Amino acid sequence: MSGKQAIALLLIGLAAGALMSVMAANVLRAQASYPQALMQVQQVQLGALRNAAKSQQCSGARAGEASLILDATARDIERAFYTNATVPADFRERAEHLRAAISEVRAARDCAQFAPSVARLAASCDACHQSYRQ
């Protein structure tokens, strides 16, 4: 093998290694993005519920939509944060409390029930964040 061929192979190897490193970093970044995105979606929907409660539009379409989105995202919360790991019992319990609070919001029939249930939902979020927010 000539010197030129060795240099060419070395450069090809370096380029392939750099490409693989970038690909691996992108995969790791994408895995970390999902939990953050899920939390942002939930934050926006909780804000919509709070606004509905403040404006006395407790049974409006936006409140119903927000509670449906929260319900759907809450069903995936353990998988989002613990992809290939055992979910800690405390986290699982807090996730169950979150889902129960969302169910309570969805079951509210009027603003007298809705506003306090939204406050309890927010408290459920805050309790988990106190333990797990990074």
| CATH code of the domain containing 110 | 1.20.120.10
Q: Which domain holds residue 44?
A: 35-132
Per-residue pLDDT, 17 = 72
Q: What pLDDT is stored for residue 75 in this prediction?
A: 94
**Is the torsion defined by CA of 42, 45, 49, 55 positive or negative?**
positive
Tell me how far apart the alpha carbons of residues 32 and 36 are, in angstroms, rounded to a whole number: 7
Residue 9, in any domain of the structure: no
Question: Is 26 inside any structural domain?
Answer: no
In a domain, 107, yes or no: yes
CA distance 106 to 88: 27
In a domain, 4, yes or no: no
The answer to whether residue 3 sits within a structural domain is no
pLDDT at position 120 is: 96
Rounded mean pLDDT for each run of 10 residues along the chain, 134 residues in total:
75 71 63 85 95 87 90 93 87 95 92 94 94 74
The verdict on residue 128 lying in a domain is yes
pLDDT at 134 (0 to 100)? 54
Count of the separate structural domains present in the chain:
1
Instruction: Tell me whether residue 11 is in a domain.
Output: no
* Amino acid 85: pLDDT: 79
Question: Would 16 be classed as within a structural domain?
Answer: no
Residue 28, pLDDT score: 59
DSSP codes, 71-96: HHHHTTHHHHH-TTSPPPHHHHHHHH
* pTM of the full structure: 0.74
Return the axis-axis angle of helices 111-132 and 89-107, rounded to nearest 10°.
Answer: 160
**pLDDT recorded at residue 29:** 57
